[in-house]
Amino acid sequence: MRYLYRTFLWSIVPFAILLVGTFWTVEKSVTATVREGLRASLRENQAAAAAMQRRTQVQSTRSLRVVAESAALKAGLQLLLANTSSKDARQTVEDQLQEIGEAIGVDLLLVSTIEGAPMVGVIRIEDKLTALDTDRLKKPIGELFLRDGRAFRVTSIPVSQAEDDIATLSVGEPLNLAHFNAPVALLDNGKVVVSNLTGHSLEQIESNVRACNPQSECELVIGSETYLSMVVGKFSSDSPYTLRSFRSVNHALSPIHTVLRQNFSNFGFCALFAAVVVSAISARSIVRPIAQVISQLRQSGTSGLLPELNTTRSSVKEIHELAASFNEAAVAVRQGRDDLNRAYVEFIGSLASALDARDPYTAGHSIRVSEYSCLIAGHLHLAPAEVDELRIGALLHDVGKIGIADSVLQKPGKLSDEEFQLIKEHPVIGRKILEGVNGLAPYLPTVELHHENWDGTGYPNGLKGEQVPLAARIVHVADAYDAMTSDRPYRRGMSAAHALNVLKANAGTQFDPLLVTTFATCVENGATEAPIADPSTYQNSLRKLALAVRTGSPRTVEQLVSGNKS
DSSP labels for 336-400?
HHHHHHHHHHHHHHHHHHHHHTT-GGGTTHHHHHHHHHHHHHHHTT--HHHHHHHHHHHHTTTGG
| Residue range 465-511, pLDDT digits in tens | 999 999 999 999 999 999 899 877 667 888 989 999 999 999 999 99
The reply to whether 452 and 495 lie within a common domain is yes
Instruction: Choose the final residue of a domain: 146, 175, 204.
Output: 175
Phi (first) and psi of residue 198, to 5 degrees: -75, 155
CA 150 to chain centre: 34
Supply the pLDDT for residue 548: 38
| Residue range 176-206, pLDDT digits in tens | 777 777 788 888 888 888 888 888 888 888 8
Task: Give how many domains the chain has, as a whole number.
Answer: 3
Instruction: Choose the final residue of a domain: 205, 237, 252.
Output: 252
Scored b (16 or more CB within 10 A) or e, 408-432 reads: bbebeeebeeebbebbbebbbbbbe
Residue that wins the pLDDT comparison between 123 and 545: 123
Residue that wins the pLDDT comparison between 491 and 275: 491
> Three-state DSSP class for 507?
strand
The reply to whether 232 and 136 lie within a common domain is no
Supply the pLDDT for residue 467: 94
The reply to whether 515 and 402 lie within a common domain is yes
115 C-beta neighbours (distance < 10 Å), count: 7
In a domain, 307, yes or no: no
pLDDT mean over 422-434: 89
> Three-state DSSP class for 248?
strand
| Residue range 119-177, pLDDT digits in tens | 888 898 888 888 888 877 767 777 778 877 788 888 888 888 777 888 888 888 887 77
Cis, bond preceding 214 (omega within 30 deg of 0): yes
Task: Tell whether the model's pLDDT for residue 281 goes beyond 80.
Answer: no
Supply the pLDDT for residue 125: 87
The reply to whether 51 and 127 lie within a common domain is no
In a domain, 343, yes or no: no
Supply the pLDDT for residue 323: 74
Identify any residues that bridge with 242 across adjacent strands, giving them in sequence order.
Answer: 187, 234
Instruction: Choose the final residue of a domain: 220, 236, 252.
Output: 252
User: How confident is residue 107, by pLDDT bands cut at 50, 70 and 90?
Assistant: confident
In a domain, 315, yes or no: no
Identify any residues that bridge with 164 across adjacent strands, giving them in sequence order.
Answer: 161
With vertex at residue 236, the alpha carbon angle to CA 232 and CA 239, rounded to the nearest 5 degrees, is: 95
Domain interval for residue 201: 3-57+178-252
Query: What kind and span of H or E run contains 297?
Result: helix 255-298
In a domain, 347, yes or no: no
The reply to whether 121 and 160 lie within a common domain is yes
Could you say which DSSP state residue 528 is in?
A: -
The reply to whether 410 and 470 lie within a common domain is yes
The reply to whether 77 and 214 lie within a common domain is no
Query: What kind and span of H or E run contains 226?
Result: strand 225-234
pLDDT mean over 377-381: 91
Could you say which DSSP state residue 179 is in?
A: G
Supply the pLDDT for residue 377: 93
CA distance 287 to 113: 84
The reply to whether 76 and 108 lie within a common domain is yes
* CATH value at residue 451: 1.10.3210.10
* CATH value at residue 127: 3.30.450.20
Tell me, what amino acid is at 184? Answer: V
Which pairing describes strands 191-195 and 217-222: parallel, antiparallel, or unpaired?
Answer: unpaired
Supply the pLDDT for residue 531: 47
* Contact criterion met (CB below 8 Å) for 173 and 113: no
> Three-state DSSP class for 183?
coil
In a domain, 321, yes or no: no
The reply to whether 367 and 246 lie within a common domain is no
CA 481 to chain centre: 49
The reply to whether 155 and 182 lie within a common domain is no
The reply to whether 47 and 13 lie within a common domain is yes
Q: How far are the Cα atoms of 300, 356, 509 from residue 400, in angstroms, in the given order? A: 38, 12, 25
In a domain, 46, yes or no: yes
Q: How far are the Cα atoms of 189, 222, 243, 245 from residue 214, in angstroms, in the given order? A: 10, 18, 12, 14
In the chain, % of residues over pLDDT 90: 15
CA distance 97 to 73: 8
Q: How far are the Cα atoms of 10, 499, 502, 517 from residue 505, in angstroms, in the given order? A: 85, 10, 5, 11
In a domain, 305, yes or no: no
The reply to whether 87 and 191 lie within a common domain is no
In a domain, 271, yes or no: no
Q: What is the 3 state secondary structure string of 425-436?
A: CHHHHHHHHHCC
**Which residues make Cβ contacts (< 8 Å) with residue 564, sequence separation at least 6?**
414, 415, 420, 423
Query: What kind and span of H or E run contains 328?
Result: helix 317-356
